[in-house]
Structure 1
Amino acid sequence: MKLLGMHHVSILTGSAEKNYAFYTKVLGMRLVKKTVNQDNTRSYHLFYGDAKGSPGTEITFFDIPGLGRTYEGVSNISSTSLRVKTKKSLQFWKQRFEKLGITHEEIAVRAGRETLAFQDGEGTRLILAADDGEEGVAAGEPWSTEEVPAEHSIVGLGPVTLTVANPEPTIGVLIEVLGFRRKGSYPAADENRPDILVFETGEGGSGAEIHIEPRPDLSPARLGRGGVHHVAFRVPNSEEYEAWAEKLKDLRIPNSGKVDRFYFQALYFREPNNILFELSTDTPGFDADEPMETLGERLSLPPFLEPSRAKIEAELRPLDI
């Protein structure tokens, strides 16, 4: 029973319209599902990914208009990486960010690969990570736009960074419960801080890493717009999902119990530093209720919400994207 890597990362936005413009027009990602937050159907839930909405490529957003700012700190998913194919692509993106006035840093090496850190308009901390022939979990299918050619497109999720006051309890869950392996470490940007620790699962590589940043000097984070709600890990199928549900039960780890999101099955639990983890199946996928060619073009609702479509649509604010 082994996790395959990252499944998705879910973030909070105060404006679905501006969010859509950034992730599709600036970053050139595909909107692969426009649906609702199943726990609050008055809120949109937008999924961006590769050309096919492949597991391991999605960055998702809960739309909460008027949401306040995020206050950075510990017990927090502090950055999300997005994979590109080559180091050459980082030069393309650096020039594009400069042209469009996107906040970004210089190209730098993190965990042995070249990267480019930047932020969206709500302060979400993102990092482009170049695969550059690295072995490991396969990337997704390129999605090209007029301004972002396929050779430079974003092809999946890369490492996710957890910032915690005390890393040991989190490390214990990663290794002893989820089956991650220690891979190594790399220096923090500030040489006076502890090294950032690297753990991997599945076939390893960029799409299967968690980085842990120890920051005992910080207070707990307060999530707002641009803050990361949770990170999800890939479970290959329903059979292994059932086994994971039993494992969490046997270990007496408090969790959500089995949750059917229709597009995937989910299990949620908080690790000791209070970061929300999710285990999500690769199946059945985002084309379960609409053709691959038209993913994200209409409001999709899972079958258990479809009978309430009229009421849900009446309560949703108009979304002009």
Structure 2
Amino acid sequence: MTTVQGLHHITAVAADPQRNADFYTRVLGLRLVKKTVNQDDPSSYHLYYGDDRGRPGTAMTFFPFPGVPAGQAGRGQPLETRFSVPAGAIAAWQSQLADAGITVTPGHTDVPMLQFHDPDGLPLALIGDAPSSIAADTRGETAIRGFSGMSLASHRPVATARVLTGLLDYVESGAGVGGTRFVSLDAPLARHIDLVEDVAPGQAGYGTVHHVAFRVADRPALLERLERIRAWQLPCSGEVDRYYFRSVYFREPGGMLFEIATDDPGFDVDEPVESLGSDLKLPPAHEPMRATIEAHLPGLVSRPR
């Protein structure tokens, strides 16, 4: 059986699409690589940010739902999304975030760490642990390389740990930040999950993570995992074609929505790499509804950093 290779993408809920785009592109320097719609609710955006190509392991995505109430990260949810940067870039990032008016707290770990929140209150961190094998892209030497990992708070941590190790190929590796660390040994980046306890119950809404997606290479690997999910008798979606990747969604015993997603075909399937994120792209099933969809979506402009 092929292995799961760490995180594919992380999807969170935002309140305002323009504010969201400004923060992740202008402050964090990620590239808006896909401007599309929520395929289950095409009246709202689905925005994808990442490295210069939105490679798996770098894609932070958002459902902006204007009018949705504020959430509270807590038990039964993914908590802190952690991005990987070069260790030598942490000081520059601390200064840059302060200049943007963002309150930053240095983390107490064996590697440099900055903790902060996005404008919706979503917990974020920068970790100075970018692998030397991950080269800088067109965004510069200090740029975010992708995910380092994230933390989870489960209603049933023992059962969630069993899913991480038995279904998603993570290995328990000792203490992490505030909990037990699990590592994906075959992942080039986006390697760690910290399972934390003693957290108050969470509340869904903007400023919280909607789901976490784990990475497999292709459809045969995805279907292998689907068989195992069904054998574990976990509630799941079956195979879903998301056009830019294929997915299986399942609810793990601790209350969180997990997804397994393929590397292929990627975000350049419907536009060239040079112009990723420039125009609203719709999967074929939604293209006949373009006029209606565009009439309902709020305006969204790309502003230079």
| TM class, shorter-length | over 0.9
What per-residue deviation string (whole Å, max 9, x for no partner) do you get for residues 24-51 of structure 1? Answer: 1111110000000000000001000001
Deviation at 1:120, TM superposition (A): 1.0
- List aligned pairs for 1:34-183, cutoff 5 A: 34-84=35-85, 86-109=86-109, 112-131=110-129, 133=131, 139=134, 142-144=137-139, 150-183=140-173
Quote the residue 1:221 is aligned against: 202
In 1, the alpha carbon distance for the partners of 2:177 and 2:78 equals 18
Quote the residue 2:222 is aligned against: 241
2:276 counterpart letter in structure 1? L
Alignment match of 1:257 (pick from 235, 238, 258): 238
Quote the residue 2:247 is aligned against: 266
Taking structure 1 as the reference length, the TM-score comes to 0.89
Note the aligned Cα RMSD (angstroms).
1.7
In 2, the alpha carbon distance for the partners of 1:140 and 1:33 equals 22
In 1, the alpha carbon distance for the partners of 2:260 and 2:177 equals 29
In 2, the alpha carbon distance for the partners of 1:113 and 1:206 equals 15
What per-residue deviation string (whole Å, max 9, x for no partner) do you get for residues 104-152 of structure 1? Answer: 102532xx43211111111111010112556xxx6475342xxxxx111
In 1, the alpha carbon distance for the partners of 2:144 and 2:138 equals 8
Q: Secondary structure at the match of 2:153?
A: strand
1:293 counterpart letter in structure 2? E
In 2, the alpha carbon distance for the partners of 1:186 and 1:161 equals 9
Shifted more, 177-186 versus 253-262: the winner is 177-186
- Show structure 1 runs of 5+ residues with no match: 145-149, 189-195
Q: Percent identity?
A: 38
Quote the residue 1:294 is aligned against: 275
In 1, the alpha carbon distance for the partners of 2:64 and 2:89 equals 30
Q: How has the CA–CA distance of structure 1 residues 80 and 199 changed in structure 2, closer, same or farther, with 3 Å as cutoff?
A: same
Q: Secondary structure at the match of 2:237?
A: coil
In 2, the alpha carbon distance for the partners of 1:175 and 1:116 equals 28
Cα contact 1:51–1:141 (8 A) shared by 2: no
1:90 counterpart letter in structure 2? I
Quote the residue 1:199 is aligned against: 182
Q: Secondary structure at the match of 1:122?
A: coil
Deviation at 1:205, TM superposition (A): 6.7
Q: How has the CA–CA distance of structure 1 residues 71 and 107 changed in structure 2, closer, same or farther, with 3 Å as cutoff?
A: closer
Alignment match of 1:317 (pick from 284, 292, 298): 298
- Show structure 2 runs of 5+ residues with no match: none
Q: Secondary structure at the match of 1:274?
A: coil
